[in-house]
Amino acid sequence: MMKTALTIAGFDPSGGAGIQADLKVFHLHRTYGISVAAAITAQSSTGVSGIVPIQARFVKEQLRVLLADLTPDATKIGMLYTGANVRAVANTIMKKGLRNIVIDPVVFSSSGKRLAHREAVEELKRCLIPLSTVITPNLYEAGFLSGVRIRDVDDMKAAAERLSELGAGNVIITGGHMKANAIDLLYNGSFHEFRDRKRAGQFHGTGCIYSAAITSYLAEGKSVLKAAELAKVFMGKAFTSTFSTGKGMRLFGI
Ligand code: PLP
């Protein structure tokens, strides 16, 4: 039986992040991808120039129609942008009893653009993170959401514990922005580290691709621990296919 994964995220015309990246990752894992747009962005490898949010009632309508047709094996939530969209998604998850919820708590782009209103961040903490199976913040997002200043693995551990207090059963802080090695930290009551070497350069879409890979593995029925292990290996391979347009960040040629 074909596994299905849903992404609720932002539309990225460059294909490097958001819905487009998620669908490519699902496809690579032979998972059938479905998608709901929560925001449309104007961007390229050089950065985000504009964002138009989708109205919450239309996010709900997309979800209503899609979920009347099928129930995804796993769902990934990326850029929702507005507090109203966060509430709409949280309501749908509860109403439909969706399982295997991966939240990539997107706040800023690598190029520095704000990808979530202040209210969206508050609502994410209040009503969406408690519904998650796993959240996958990067170092900056983990610091921002937890209030912990992260400089090393011990700080990552402190931040992960704080984030789990928000109601996330599993917290994975991705360490691609660390100075030396790229250490991902999973906290599920105990700590697990996944190590790789640090990749030099700036990449567009890393967080989206990582969390979409985790979503694919959960859709396949794998545990979060196994998914974190496999996603680290998948990212290692994905980094071998990056390319540059010559103008901005490197894109993943997946
Ligand atoms: N655009 C969309 C729609 C995203 O979801 C994200 C990240 O989640 C970004 C842009 C930013 O990607 P990056 O910071 O890798 O450039």
- pLDDT tens-digit map of 148-177: 999 999 999 999 999 999 999 999 999 988
**Which whole-number Å values give the CA distances from 175 to 179, 216, 217, in the listed order?**
9, 20, 20
C-alpha 42/C-alpha 28 separation (Å) is: 25
* Beta carbons of 70 and 106 less than 8 angstroms apart: no
For ligand 1, atom 11, the nearest C-alpha belongs to 109
- The C-alpha angle 134, 187, 139, rounded to 5 degrees, equals 80
Q: Is 204 in the pocket of ligand 1 (CB under 6 A)?
A: yes
C-alpha 114/C-alpha 82 separation (Å) is: 11
Residue 217 in tokens: 């593995």
Q: Kindly give the distance from the C-alpha atom of residue 208 to the centroid of ligand 1, in angstroms, as a whole number.
A: 7
Q: Kindly give the distance from the C-alpha atom of residue 220 to the centroid of ligand 1, in angstroms, as a whole number.
A: 25
For 188-214, the pLDDT digits (tens) are: 999 999 999 999 999 999 999 999 999
Q: Kindly give the distance from the C-alpha atom of residue 1 to the centroid of ligand 1, in angstroms, as a whole number.
A: 31
pLDDT band at residue 112 using 50, 70 and 90 as cut-offs:
confident
C-alpha 127/C-alpha 123 separation (Å) is: 6
Q: Kindly give the distance from the C-alpha atom of residue 19 to the centroid of ligand 1, in angstroms, as a whole number.
A: 10
Q: Is 208 in the pocket of ligand 1 (CB under 6 A)?
A: yes
Residue 188 in tokens: 């599920």
Q: Is 211 in the pocket of ligand 1 (CB under 6 A)?
A: no
C-alpha 191/C-alpha 20 separation (Å) is: 32
C-alpha 140/C-alpha 64 separation (Å) is: 33
For 8-32, the pLDDT digits (tens) are: 999 999 999 999 999 999 999 999 9
pTM of the entire predicted model: 0.98
C-alpha 46/C-alpha 87 separation (Å) is: 31
